[in-house]
Amino acid sequence: MGKGGDLGKKIILAGVSVMLVVAVVVAVVAVAQRHKSSDDDFPSEHNGDVSTSVKAVTTICAPTDHKESCEHVMNEAVKNNGGKTDPKELVKAAFQATLEELKSVFNMSTGLGQKESDPMTKMALSDCEDLMQSAIQELQASFSAVGDQELHTLSDRVDEIKNWLSAVLSYQQACMDGLPRPEVKSAISNGMVNATQLTSNALAIVSEVASILSAFNIPFNLNTNNGNKRRLLETEGGLHDMDEHGLPVWLSAADRKLLAYKDTQKLKPNVVVAQDGSGNFKTINDALKNIPKSRSGRYVIYVKAGIYREQVLIENEMENIFMYGDGPRKTVVTASKNYVDGTPTYQTATFAAEGNGFICKSMGFRNTAGPEKHQAVAVRVKSDMSAFYNCRMDAYQDTLYVQTHRQFYRNCIISGTVDFIFGDSAVVLQNCKLIVRKPMDNQQNIVTAQGRTDRREPTGIVIHNCRIVPETKLYASRFTTKTYLGRPWKEYSRTIIMESTIADFIQPDGYMPWDGDFALKTLYYAEYGNRGPGARTTRRVRWPGVKVISRREALTYTAGSFLGGKSWLPGTGAPFLLGLRA
Protein backbone atom coordinates (compact mmCIF):
# COMPACT_ATOMS: atom_id res chain seq x y z
CA MET A 1 0.00 0.00 0.00
CA GLY A 2 1.21 3.46 -0.78
CA LYS A 3 1.87 5.89 1.99
CA GLY A 4 3.06 9.31 3.01
CA GLY A 5 4.37 10.99 -0.11
CA ASP A 6 1.18 12.69 -1.20
CA LEU A 7 -0.34 13.05 2.24
CA GLY A 8 -0.05 16.84 2.38
CA LYS A 9 -1.86 17.20 -0.91
CA LYS A 10 -4.48 14.68 0.20
CA ILE A 11 -5.11 16.55 3.44
CA ILE A 12 -5.64 19.80 1.53
CA LEU A 13 -8.11 18.06 -0.77
CA ALA A 14 -9.71 16.41 2.23
CA GLY A 15 -10.20 19.81 3.83
CA VAL A 16 -12.11 20.91 0.75
CA SER A 17 -14.17 17.74 0.86
CA VAL A 18 -15.00 18.26 4.53
CA MET A 19 -16.78 21.48 3.62
CA LEU A 20 -18.73 19.59 0.96
CA VAL A 21 -19.57 16.78 3.36
CA VAL A 22 -21.10 19.14 5.88
CA ALA A 23 -22.57 21.58 3.35
CA VAL A 24 -26.01 20.03 3.41
CA VAL A 25 -26.19 20.01 7.21
CA VAL A 26 -24.70 23.41 7.87
CA ALA A 27 -26.48 25.23 5.09
CA VAL A 28 -29.82 24.23 6.51
CA VAL A 29 -28.77 25.11 10.06
CA ALA A 30 -27.46 28.46 8.83
CA VAL A 31 -30.86 29.16 7.31
CA ALA A 32 -32.29 28.45 10.73
CA GLN A 33 -30.17 31.16 12.29
CA ARG A 34 -31.36 33.73 9.76
CA HIS A 35 -35.00 32.87 10.43
CA LYS A 36 -34.80 32.56 14.20
CA SER A 37 -33.81 36.10 15.17
CA SER A 38 -37.07 36.59 17.03
CA ASP A 39 -36.97 33.27 18.85
CA ASP A 40 -36.41 33.46 22.60
CA ASP A 41 -34.16 30.39 22.68
CA PHE A 42 -31.65 31.76 20.16
CA PRO A 43 -31.40 35.60 20.38
CA SER A 44 -29.86 37.27 17.34
CA GLU A 45 -26.12 37.96 17.24
CA HIS A 46 -26.44 41.73 17.17
CA ASN A 47 -28.00 41.65 20.65
CA GLY A 48 -24.61 40.63 21.98
CA ASP A 49 -26.19 38.08 24.30
CA VAL A 50 -23.49 35.74 25.57
CA SER A 51 -26.08 33.01 25.98
CA THR A 52 -26.40 32.84 22.20
CA SER A 53 -23.06 31.11 21.78
CA VAL A 54 -23.68 28.85 24.76
CA LYS A 55 -27.03 27.70 23.41
CA ALA A 56 -25.75 27.26 19.86
CA VAL A 57 -22.84 25.13 21.07
CA THR A 58 -25.12 23.16 23.40
CA THR A 59 -27.56 22.46 20.56
CA ILE A 60 -24.87 21.19 18.19
CA CYS A 61 -23.24 19.03 20.88
CA ALA A 62 -26.47 17.73 22.45
CA PRO A 63 -26.53 14.40 20.55
CA THR A 64 -22.86 13.56 21.20
CA ASP A 65 -21.48 11.07 23.72
CA HIS A 66 -18.31 13.10 24.32
CA LYS A 67 -19.78 16.51 25.06
CA GLU A 68 -16.69 17.93 26.74
CA SER A 69 -14.52 17.39 23.66
CA CYS A 70 -17.33 18.61 21.40
CA GLU A 71 -17.89 21.79 23.38
CA HIS A 72 -14.15 22.45 23.54
CA VAL A 73 -13.93 22.33 19.74
CA MET A 74 -17.04 24.46 19.33
CA ASN A 75 -15.94 27.08 21.85
CA GLU A 76 -12.57 27.34 20.15
CA ALA A 77 -14.36 27.83 16.86
CA VAL A 78 -16.48 30.62 18.37
CA LYS A 79 -13.38 32.25 19.79
CA ASN A 80 -11.49 32.02 16.49
CA ASN A 81 -14.50 33.45 14.68
CA GLY A 82 -14.60 36.63 16.73
CA GLY A 83 -17.37 35.44 19.04
CA LYS A 84 -19.78 34.66 16.20
CA THR A 85 -21.87 31.50 16.43
CA ASP A 86 -22.45 30.79 12.78
CA PRO A 87 -23.73 27.17 12.88
CA LYS A 88 -21.99 26.51 9.58
CA GLU A 89 -18.61 27.27 11.14
CA LEU A 90 -19.44 25.23 14.24
CA VAL A 91 -20.31 22.06 12.36
CA LYS A 92 -17.38 22.53 10.00
CA ALA A 93 -15.13 22.82 13.04
CA ALA A 94 -16.25 19.38 14.26
CA PHE A 95 -15.07 17.78 11.02
CA GLN A 96 -11.89 19.82 10.72
CA ALA A 97 -10.86 18.95 14.27
CA THR A 98 -11.32 15.26 13.48
CA LEU A 99 -9.16 15.63 10.40
CA GLU A 100 -6.38 17.29 12.38
CA GLU A 101 -6.40 14.50 14.95
CA LEU A 102 -6.18 11.86 12.23
CA LYS A 103 -3.22 13.72 10.78
CA SER A 104 -1.56 13.71 14.21
CA VAL A 105 -1.99 9.94 14.58
CA PHE A 106 -0.56 9.45 11.09
CA ASN A 107 2.50 11.49 12.02
CA MET A 108 2.88 9.62 15.30
CA SER A 109 2.76 6.25 13.52
CA THR A 110 5.36 7.45 11.02
CA GLY A 111 7.66 8.72 13.76
CA LEU A 112 7.44 5.57 15.86
CA GLY A 113 7.87 3.38 12.79
CA GLN A 114 11.12 5.12 11.86
CA LYS A 115 12.56 4.34 15.31
CA GLU A 116 11.19 0.82 15.68
CA SER A 117 13.53 -2.16 15.34
CA ASP A 118 11.12 -5.04 15.96
CA PRO A 119 10.00 -6.24 12.49
CA MET A 120 6.42 -7.12 13.43
CA THR A 121 5.82 -3.88 15.34
CA LYS A 122 7.34 -1.96 12.44
CA MET A 123 4.89 -3.63 10.04
CA ALA A 124 2.00 -2.89 12.38
CA LEU A 125 2.96 0.80 12.54
CA SER A 126 3.16 0.79 8.77
CA ASP A 127 -0.41 -0.55 8.77
CA CYS A 128 -1.40 2.33 11.05
CA GLU A 129 -0.01 4.80 8.52
CA ASP A 130 -2.05 3.15 5.76
CA LEU A 131 -5.17 3.06 7.89
CA MET A 132 -4.91 6.72 8.88
CA GLN A 133 -4.28 7.66 5.28
CA SER A 134 -7.39 5.69 4.32
CA ALA A 135 -9.34 7.62 6.94
CA ILE A 136 -8.21 10.89 5.38
CA GLN A 137 -8.96 9.63 1.89
CA GLU A 138 -12.51 8.81 2.96
CA LEU A 139 -13.04 12.56 3.15
CA GLN A 140 -12.03 12.89 -0.48
CA ALA A 141 -14.21 9.95 -1.48
CA SER A 142 -17.19 11.72 0.03
CA PHE A 143 -16.93 14.38 -2.68
CA SER A 144 -18.66 12.30 -5.35
CA ALA A 145 -21.33 11.07 -2.93
CA VAL A 146 -22.30 14.41 -1.45
CA GLY A 147 -21.63 17.63 -3.36
CA ASP A 148 -23.90 20.62 -3.17
CA GLN A 149 -27.33 19.03 -2.82
CA GLU A 150 -30.84 20.22 -2.16
CA LEU A 151 -32.68 19.71 1.12
CA HIS A 152 -34.93 16.93 -0.13
CA THR A 153 -31.89 14.71 -0.84
CA LEU A 154 -30.49 15.16 2.65
CA SER A 155 -31.35 11.63 3.70
CA ASP A 156 -29.04 10.20 1.02
CA ARG A 157 -26.21 12.48 2.04
CA VAL A 158 -26.57 11.57 5.70
CA ASP A 159 -26.28 7.87 4.83
CA GLU A 160 -23.11 8.48 2.84
CA ILE A 161 -21.49 10.54 5.60
CA LYS A 162 -22.36 7.91 8.22
CA ASN A 163 -20.89 5.23 5.97
CA TRP A 164 -17.64 7.19 5.78
CA LEU A 165 -17.46 8.02 9.49
CA SER A 166 -18.06 4.38 10.43
CA ALA A 167 -15.14 3.39 8.21
CA VAL A 168 -12.96 6.01 9.92
CA LEU A 169 -13.79 4.52 13.32
CA SER A 170 -12.94 1.06 11.99
CA TYR A 171 -9.58 2.21 10.65
CA GLN A 172 -8.70 3.72 14.02
CA GLN A 173 -9.57 0.52 15.85
CA ALA A 174 -7.76 -1.69 13.31
CA CYS A 175 -4.61 0.35 13.83
CA MET A 176 -4.67 -0.26 17.58
CA ASP A 177 -5.66 -3.92 17.28
CA GLY A 178 -2.65 -4.69 15.11
CA LEU A 179 0.01 -3.39 17.49
CA PRO A 180 1.75 -6.28 19.32
CA ARG A 181 3.92 -4.43 21.86
CA PRO A 182 2.01 -2.99 24.87
CA GLU A 183 4.09 0.18 25.17
CA VAL A 184 3.67 1.08 21.49
CA LYS A 185 -0.02 0.19 21.60
CA SER A 186 -0.45 2.40 24.66
CA ALA A 187 1.28 5.34 22.96
CA ILE A 188 -0.89 5.09 19.84
CA SER A 189 -4.02 4.48 21.91
CA ASN A 190 -3.41 7.61 23.99
CA GLY A 191 -2.86 9.61 20.83
CA MET A 192 -5.99 8.10 19.28
CA VAL A 193 -8.40 9.10 22.06
CA ASN A 194 -9.20 12.55 20.67
CA ALA A 195 -9.56 11.27 17.12
CA THR A 196 -11.96 8.52 18.23
CA GLN A 197 -14.06 10.86 20.36
CA LEU A 198 -14.26 13.53 17.68
CA THR A 199 -15.18 10.98 15.01
CA SER A 200 -17.90 9.64 17.30
CA ASN A 201 -19.14 13.20 17.87
CA ALA A 202 -19.28 13.89 14.14
CA LEU A 203 -21.23 10.67 13.62
CA ALA A 204 -23.66 11.69 16.37
CA ILE A 205 -24.20 15.15 14.89
CA VAL A 206 -24.90 13.71 11.44
CA SER A 207 -27.09 10.90 12.82
CA GLU A 208 -29.23 13.35 14.80
CA VAL A 209 -29.40 16.09 12.19
CA ALA A 210 -33.21 15.97 12.23
CA SER A 211 -33.23 16.79 15.96
CA ILE A 212 -30.75 19.61 15.43
CA LEU A 213 -32.86 21.07 12.65
CA SER A 214 -35.92 20.76 14.87
CA ALA A 215 -34.15 22.70 17.62
CA PHE A 216 -33.65 25.51 15.11
CA ASN A 217 -37.29 25.23 13.99
CA ILE A 218 -36.37 23.98 10.51
CA PRO A 219 -38.76 21.38 9.05
CA PHE A 220 -37.07 18.13 8.04
CA ASN A 221 -39.16 17.10 5.05
CA LEU A 222 -37.74 14.20 3.06
CA ASN A 223 -40.74 14.02 0.74
CA THR A 224 -40.39 17.46 -0.81
CA ASN A 225 -39.49 17.40 -4.50
CA ASN A 226 -39.52 21.20 -5.01
CA GLY A 227 -40.76 20.88 -8.56
CA ASN A 228 -37.87 18.64 -9.55
CA LYS A 229 -38.94 16.38 -12.42
CA ARG A 230 -36.58 13.54 -11.57
CA ARG A 231 -38.24 10.44 -10.20
CA LEU A 232 -37.92 9.53 -6.53
CA LEU A 233 -37.18 5.88 -5.81
CA GLU A 234 -39.19 4.83 -2.77
CA THR A 235 -37.43 2.37 -0.51
CA GLU A 236 -37.73 1.30 3.10
CA GLY A 237 -34.82 3.61 3.86
CA GLY A 238 -36.40 6.74 2.41
CA LEU A 239 -36.73 8.52 -0.92
CA HIS A 240 -33.87 8.57 -3.40
CA ASP A 241 -33.51 10.90 -6.41
CA MET A 242 -33.31 8.83 -9.60
CA ASP A 243 -32.42 9.73 -13.17
CA GLU A 244 -34.31 8.61 -16.28
CA HIS A 245 -32.56 5.22 -16.19
CA GLY A 246 -33.61 4.53 -12.61
CA LEU A 247 -30.15 5.13 -11.15
CA PRO A 248 -29.26 7.42 -8.20
CA VAL A 249 -28.43 10.97 -9.32
CA TRP A 250 -25.77 11.35 -6.65
CA LEU A 251 -23.58 8.88 -8.53
CA SER A 252 -21.08 10.36 -10.94
CA ALA A 253 -21.80 10.04 -14.66
CA ALA A 254 -19.14 7.33 -14.94
CA ASP A 255 -20.66 5.37 -12.06
CA ARG A 256 -24.16 5.59 -13.54
CA LYS A 257 -22.79 4.31 -16.85
CA LEU A 258 -21.11 1.48 -14.95
CA LEU A 259 -24.29 0.48 -13.13
CA ALA A 260 -26.22 0.47 -16.41
CA TYR A 261 -24.56 -2.87 -17.19
CA LYS A 262 -27.23 -5.36 -16.14
CA ASP A 263 -25.22 -8.51 -16.79
CA THR A 264 -21.50 -8.50 -16.02
CA GLN A 265 -21.18 -11.90 -17.73
CA LYS A 266 -21.54 -10.17 -21.08
CA LEU A 267 -18.73 -7.72 -20.44
CA LYS A 268 -15.72 -8.42 -22.62
CA PRO A 269 -12.57 -8.77 -20.51
CA ASN A 270 -10.01 -6.01 -20.80
CA VAL A 271 -7.26 -8.48 -19.96
CA VAL A 272 -6.92 -12.24 -19.47
CA VAL A 273 -4.70 -13.85 -16.83
CA ALA A 274 -3.52 -17.38 -17.62
CA GLN A 275 -0.68 -19.40 -16.15
CA ASP A 276 -0.14 -21.26 -19.42
CA GLY A 277 0.71 -18.05 -21.29
CA SER A 278 -2.50 -17.99 -23.33
CA GLY A 279 -3.57 -14.67 -21.84
CA ASN A 280 -2.14 -11.18 -21.45
CA PHE A 281 -0.47 -11.93 -18.10
CA LYS A 282 0.58 -14.96 -16.09
CA THR A 283 -0.18 -13.50 -12.65
CA ILE A 284 -3.04 -11.46 -11.24
CA ASN A 285 -0.62 -8.94 -9.78
CA ASP A 286 0.92 -8.27 -13.18
CA ALA A 287 -2.54 -7.61 -14.60
CA LEU A 288 -3.29 -5.16 -11.78
CA LYS A 289 0.01 -3.32 -12.25
CA ASN A 290 -0.89 -2.67 -15.87
CA ILE A 291 -4.36 -1.23 -15.37
CA PRO A 292 -4.45 2.05 -17.36
CA LYS A 293 -4.23 5.11 -15.13
CA SER A 294 -6.87 6.95 -17.10
CA ARG A 295 -9.96 4.88 -17.84
CA SER A 296 -13.70 5.00 -17.30
CA GLY A 297 -16.33 2.39 -16.58
CA ARG A 298 -15.84 -1.15 -15.43
CA TYR A 299 -12.42 -2.79 -15.91
CA VAL A 300 -12.82 -6.53 -16.45
CA ILE A 301 -10.16 -9.11 -15.59
CA TYR A 302 -10.72 -12.76 -16.53
CA VAL A 303 -8.57 -15.20 -14.56
CA LYS A 304 -8.39 -18.60 -16.23
CA ALA A 305 -8.32 -21.87 -14.30
CA GLY A 306 -5.19 -22.40 -12.27
CA ILE A 307 -3.66 -22.21 -8.79
CA TYR A 308 -2.27 -18.69 -8.37
CA ARG A 309 0.25 -18.61 -5.52
CA GLU A 310 0.36 -14.91 -4.79
CA GLN A 311 -0.90 -12.28 -2.41
CA VAL A 312 -3.21 -9.94 -4.29
CA LEU A 313 -4.21 -6.37 -3.39
CA ILE A 314 -6.86 -4.39 -5.25
CA GLU A 315 -5.58 -0.96 -4.20
CA ASN A 316 -7.69 2.06 -3.24
CA GLU A 317 -7.17 3.66 -6.62
CA MET A 318 -8.32 0.55 -8.49
CA GLU A 319 -12.04 1.26 -8.51
CA ASN A 320 -14.79 -0.53 -10.43
CA ILE A 321 -12.86 -3.74 -11.06
CA PHE A 322 -14.77 -6.86 -12.10
CA MET A 323 -12.72 -10.05 -11.73
CA TYR A 324 -14.02 -13.48 -12.62
CA GLY A 325 -12.68 -17.00 -12.94
CA ASP A 326 -13.68 -20.42 -14.19
CA GLY A 327 -15.12 -21.57 -10.86
CA PRO A 328 -14.21 -21.44 -7.15
CA ARG A 329 -12.39 -24.79 -7.33
CA LYS A 330 -10.72 -24.11 -10.66
CA THR A 331 -9.48 -20.52 -10.36
CA VAL A 332 -7.86 -20.36 -6.93
CA VAL A 333 -5.66 -17.72 -5.28
CA THR A 334 -3.64 -19.13 -2.39
CA ALA A 335 -1.03 -18.01 0.16
CA SER A 336 -0.12 -18.79 3.77
CA LYS A 337 0.84 -15.56 5.56
CA ASN A 338 -0.06 -15.73 9.26
CA TYR A 339 0.30 -14.09 12.65
CA VAL A 340 2.42 -16.77 14.33
CA ASP A 341 5.15 -16.46 11.72
CA GLY A 342 5.36 -12.70 12.23
CA THR A 343 2.80 -11.01 9.97
CA PRO A 344 0.15 -8.69 11.48
CA THR A 345 -3.40 -9.95 10.84
CA TYR A 346 -4.13 -7.03 8.52
CA GLN A 347 -1.35 -8.12 6.15
CA THR A 348 -2.03 -11.86 6.19
CA ALA A 349 -4.88 -11.67 3.64
CA THR A 350 -4.32 -13.78 0.56
CA PHE A 351 -6.64 -11.47 -1.37
CA ALA A 352 -7.58 -7.91 -0.36
CA ALA A 353 -10.07 -5.62 -2.12
CA GLU A 354 -9.85 -1.92 -1.24
CA GLY A 355 -10.93 -0.04 -4.38
CA ASN A 356 -14.64 0.80 -4.37
CA GLY A 357 -17.10 -1.07 -6.55
CA PHE A 358 -15.16 -4.34 -6.66
CA ILE A 359 -17.08 -7.34 -8.04
CA CYS A 360 -15.81 -10.89 -8.00
CA LYS A 361 -17.36 -14.02 -9.48
CA SER A 362 -16.46 -17.71 -9.61
CA MET A 363 -13.11 -17.64 -7.83
CA GLY A 364 -11.61 -19.38 -4.81
CA PHE A 365 -9.36 -17.90 -2.11
CA ARG A 366 -7.32 -19.83 0.43
CA ASN A 367 -5.04 -19.21 3.34
CA THR A 368 -3.32 -22.53 3.95
CA ALA A 369 -1.41 -21.58 7.11
CA GLY A 370 -3.46 -24.03 9.20
CA PRO A 371 -5.16 -23.73 12.61
CA GLU A 372 -1.89 -23.75 14.56
CA LYS A 373 -0.87 -20.44 12.95
CA HIS A 374 -3.91 -18.62 14.41
CA GLN A 375 -4.87 -15.42 12.54
CA ALA A 376 -4.53 -16.10 8.81
CA VAL A 377 -6.96 -14.22 6.57
CA ALA A 378 -8.09 -15.55 3.20
CA VAL A 379 -9.99 -12.42 2.06
CA ARG A 380 -10.03 -8.84 3.40
CA VAL A 381 -12.54 -6.36 1.95
CA LYS A 382 -12.94 -2.61 2.55
CA SER A 383 -14.36 -1.85 -0.91
CA ASP A 384 -17.64 0.06 -0.77
CA MET A 385 -20.55 -1.38 -2.76
CA SER A 386 -18.59 -4.59 -3.36
CA ALA A 387 -20.05 -7.97 -4.26
CA PHE A 388 -18.79 -11.56 -4.33
CA TYR A 389 -20.82 -14.15 -6.23
CA ASN A 390 -20.20 -17.89 -6.45
CA CYS A 391 -16.87 -17.58 -4.65
CA ARG A 392 -15.19 -19.77 -2.04
CA MET A 393 -13.05 -18.64 0.92
CA ASP A 394 -11.18 -21.23 2.98
CA ALA A 395 -8.97 -20.77 6.03
CA TYR A 396 -9.19 -21.42 9.75
CA GLN A 397 -9.06 -18.43 12.12
CA ASP A 398 -10.21 -15.09 10.61
CA THR A 399 -11.08 -16.38 7.13
CA LEU A 400 -13.13 -13.42 5.89
CA TYR A 401 -12.32 -9.91 7.15
CA VAL A 402 -15.30 -7.74 6.20
CA GLN A 403 -13.40 -4.63 7.16
CA THR A 404 -15.53 -1.59 6.23
CA HIS A 405 -18.31 -0.18 4.04
CA ARG A 406 -21.19 -1.94 2.26
CA GLN A 407 -20.59 -5.51 1.09
CA PHE A 408 -22.71 -8.29 -0.40
CA TYR A 409 -21.96 -12.02 -0.73
CA ARG A 410 -24.22 -14.37 -2.67
CA ASN A 411 -23.95 -18.14 -3.27
CA CYS A 412 -20.53 -18.23 -1.60
CA ILE A 413 -18.88 -20.90 0.54
CA ILE A 414 -16.94 -19.66 3.57
CA SER A 415 -15.13 -22.06 5.87
CA GLY A 416 -13.18 -21.56 9.08
CA THR A 417 -12.93 -22.08 12.82
CA VAL A 418 -12.37 -19.11 15.16
CA ASP A 419 -14.14 -15.81 14.36
CA PHE A 420 -14.00 -16.77 10.72
CA ILE A 421 -16.30 -13.95 9.61
CA PHE A 422 -15.24 -10.73 11.35
CA GLY A 423 -15.00 -6.98 10.84
CA ASP A 424 -17.02 -3.76 10.97
CA SER A 425 -18.71 -3.43 7.59
CA ALA A 426 -22.39 -3.36 6.72
CA VAL A 427 -22.50 -6.79 5.12
CA VAL A 428 -25.16 -9.23 3.96
CA LEU A 429 -24.26 -12.85 3.27
CA GLN A 430 -27.14 -14.30 1.28
CA ASN A 431 -27.72 -17.91 0.16
CA CYS A 432 -24.23 -18.81 1.36
CA LYS A 433 -22.89 -21.98 2.93
CA LEU A 434 -20.89 -21.40 6.12
CA ILE A 435 -18.77 -24.46 6.90
CA VAL A 436 -17.32 -24.83 10.38
CA ARG A 437 -14.05 -26.74 10.31
CA LYS A 438 -12.28 -28.89 12.88
CA PRO A 439 -10.06 -26.64 15.04
CA MET A 440 -7.13 -27.49 17.27
CA ASP A 441 -7.96 -29.62 20.33
CA ASN A 442 -7.91 -26.65 22.72
CA GLN A 443 -10.03 -24.36 20.55
CA GLN A 444 -13.71 -23.53 20.22
CA ASN A 445 -15.39 -22.49 16.99
CA ILE A 446 -17.08 -19.11 16.56
CA VAL A 447 -18.76 -18.18 13.29
CA THR A 448 -18.81 -14.37 13.69
CA ALA A 449 -17.00 -11.62 15.59
CA GLN A 450 -18.50 -8.26 14.64
CA GLY A 451 -16.53 -5.10 15.47
CA ARG A 452 -18.91 -2.12 15.87
CA THR A 453 -17.40 0.37 18.34
CA ASP A 454 -20.07 3.09 18.29
CA ARG A 455 -23.80 2.61 18.78
CA ARG A 456 -24.62 4.90 15.83
CA GLU A 457 -22.58 2.99 13.26
CA PRO A 458 -24.82 1.59 10.49
CA THR A 459 -22.78 -1.63 10.42
CA GLY A 460 -23.30 -5.28 11.25
CA ILE A 461 -23.04 -8.83 9.93
CA VAL A 462 -26.28 -10.16 8.42
CA ILE A 463 -26.54 -13.86 7.58
CA HIS A 464 -29.63 -14.33 5.41
CA ASN A 465 -31.00 -17.59 4.00
CA CYS A 466 -27.68 -19.34 4.56
CA ARG A 467 -26.71 -22.79 5.85
CA ILE A 468 -24.43 -23.18 8.86
CA VAL A 469 -23.00 -26.71 8.88
CA PRO A 470 -19.97 -28.68 10.13
CA GLU A 471 -17.36 -30.07 7.77
CA THR A 472 -16.97 -33.82 7.47
CA LYS A 473 -13.84 -33.90 9.69
CA LEU A 474 -15.73 -32.12 12.48
CA TYR A 475 -18.91 -34.20 12.26
CA ALA A 476 -17.89 -37.00 14.63
CA SER A 477 -16.83 -34.55 17.36
CA ARG A 478 -19.36 -31.84 16.59
CA PHE A 479 -20.96 -32.03 20.05
CA THR A 480 -17.73 -32.14 22.08
CA THR A 481 -16.02 -29.39 20.05
CA LYS A 482 -18.11 -26.38 21.03
CA THR A 483 -19.33 -24.11 18.24
CA TYR A 484 -21.05 -20.74 18.69
CA LEU A 485 -22.79 -18.34 16.33
CA GLY A 486 -20.84 -15.34 17.55
CA ARG A 487 -19.02 -13.38 20.22
CA PRO A 488 -18.63 -9.61 20.73
CA TRP A 489 -15.30 -8.45 19.35
CA LYS A 490 -16.16 -4.82 20.11
CA GLU A 491 -18.53 -3.02 22.48
CA TYR A 492 -21.53 -2.62 20.15
CA SER A 493 -21.12 -5.87 18.22
CA ARG A 494 -24.13 -6.55 15.99
CA THR A 495 -25.02 -9.77 14.15
CA ILE A 496 -28.35 -10.84 12.66
CA ILE A 497 -29.11 -14.38 11.50
CA MET A 498 -32.40 -14.79 9.66
CA GLU A 499 -34.23 -17.31 7.50
CA SER A 500 -31.19 -19.60 7.70
CA THR A 501 -30.70 -23.30 8.37
CA ILE A 502 -28.62 -23.99 11.48
CA ALA A 503 -27.37 -27.54 12.03
CA ASP A 504 -27.50 -29.39 15.36
CA PHE A 505 -23.88 -28.76 16.39
CA ILE A 506 -24.40 -25.14 17.47
CA GLN A 507 -24.35 -24.79 21.26
CA PRO A 508 -27.86 -24.18 22.66
CA ASP A 509 -26.75 -20.94 24.33
CA GLY A 510 -25.78 -19.67 20.86
CA TYR A 511 -23.18 -17.07 21.79
CA MET A 512 -20.12 -16.86 24.00
CA PRO A 513 -18.45 -13.92 25.80
CA TRP A 514 -15.29 -12.31 24.48
CA ASP A 515 -13.74 -11.45 27.83
CA GLY A 516 -15.76 -11.58 31.04
CA ASP A 517 -18.78 -9.28 30.85
CA PHE A 518 -17.30 -7.05 28.12
CA ALA A 519 -20.03 -5.81 25.73
CA LEU A 520 -22.68 -8.16 27.13
CA LYS A 521 -25.00 -5.22 27.90
CA THR A 522 -24.38 -3.32 24.66
CA LEU A 523 -24.24 -5.97 21.92
CA TYR A 524 -27.13 -6.78 19.56
CA TYR A 525 -27.57 -10.40 18.42
CA ALA A 526 -30.86 -11.12 16.68
CA GLU A 527 -32.48 -14.16 15.08
CA TYR A 528 -35.53 -14.41 12.87
CA GLY A 529 -37.26 -17.25 11.04
CA ASN A 530 -34.37 -19.71 11.20
CA ARG A 531 -34.69 -23.46 10.62
CA GLY A 532 -32.98 -26.63 11.78
CA PRO A 533 -32.18 -28.13 15.20
CA GLY A 534 -29.59 -25.44 15.95
CA ALA A 535 -32.17 -22.70 15.45
CA ARG A 536 -34.02 -23.35 18.72
CA THR A 537 -33.76 -20.20 20.83
CA THR A 538 -35.27 -21.35 24.15
CA ARG A 539 -31.84 -21.90 25.74
CA ARG A 540 -30.02 -18.88 24.30
CA VAL A 541 -27.92 -16.75 26.68
CA ARG A 542 -29.96 -14.18 28.61
CA TRP A 543 -27.98 -11.08 27.66
CA PRO A 544 -30.11 -7.95 27.09
CA GLY A 545 -29.25 -7.67 23.40
CA VAL A 546 -29.88 -11.30 22.44
CA LYS A 547 -33.38 -11.57 21.02
CA VAL A 548 -35.76 -13.09 18.54
CA ILE A 549 -37.02 -10.22 16.39
CA SER A 550 -40.24 -9.53 14.53
CA ARG A 551 -40.65 -9.58 10.78
CA ARG A 552 -40.85 -5.79 10.77
CA GLU A 553 -37.49 -5.48 12.50
CA ALA A 554 -35.96 -8.19 10.32
CA LEU A 555 -36.88 -6.16 7.23
CA THR A 556 -34.50 -3.42 8.35
CA TYR A 557 -31.60 -5.87 7.96
CA THR A 558 -32.37 -7.05 4.44
CA ALA A 559 -30.10 -6.22 1.52
CA GLY A 560 -32.57 -3.60 0.29
CA SER A 561 -32.79 -1.68 3.53
CA PHE A 562 -29.51 -2.38 5.34
CA LEU A 563 -27.28 -1.94 2.28
CA GLY A 564 -29.45 0.40 0.23
CA GLY A 565 -29.10 -2.41 -2.27
CA LYS A 566 -31.77 -1.34 -4.75
CA SER A 567 -29.52 1.50 -5.90
CA TRP A 568 -26.40 -0.58 -6.60
CA LEU A 569 -26.88 -4.35 -6.47
CA PRO A 570 -28.49 -4.49 -9.96
CA GLY A 571 -25.21 -3.22 -11.40
CA THR A 572 -23.19 -6.06 -9.90
CA GLY A 573 -24.68 -8.73 -12.17
CA ALA A 574 -25.24 -10.99 -9.16
CA PRO A 575 -28.64 -12.37 -8.19
CA PHE A 576 -30.01 -10.87 -5.01
CA LEU A 577 -33.06 -10.66 -2.78
CA LEU A 578 -33.82 -7.20 -1.43
CA GLY A 579 -36.39 -8.34 1.14
CA LEU A 580 -37.23 -11.47 3.09
CA ARG A 581 -37.98 -14.90 1.63
CA ALA A 582 -41.41 -15.05 3.22
In the DSSP assignment, the letter for residue 47 is G
Nearest to 464 by CA among 439, 487, 491, 496: 496
Q: Which of 127, 255, 398, 419 is catalytic?
A: 419
User: 495 pairs with which residues across the strands?
Assistant: 461, 525
The phi and psi torsions of 393 (rounded to 5 degrees) equal: -130, 115
Cα–Cα distance for residue pair 127/153, rounded to 1 Å: 36
Rounded Cα–Cα distance for residues 97 and 113 (Å) = 24
Estimate the crossing angle of helix 182-207 against helix 154-177, to 10 degrees. 170
Q: Please name the amino acid found at residue 522.
A: T
In the residue annotation, 419 being an active-site residue is answered as yes
Please state, in angstroms and rounded to a whole number, the distance separating the CA atoms of residues 146 and 14.
Answer: 13
HSE-up of 30 (CA within 13 Å, CB side)?
A: 14
For residues 127 and 185, the answer to whether their CB atoms sit within 8 Å is: no
How many CB atoms are located within 10 Å of the residue 250 CB? 19
Residue 379: name the closest of 413, 411, 356, 340 by CA: 413
Return the ∠ at Cα 479 (arms to 475 and 481), rounded to 5°.
Answer: 85
User: Side chain identity at 521, as an amino acid letter?
Assistant: K
Q: Which residues are annotated as catalytic? A: 419
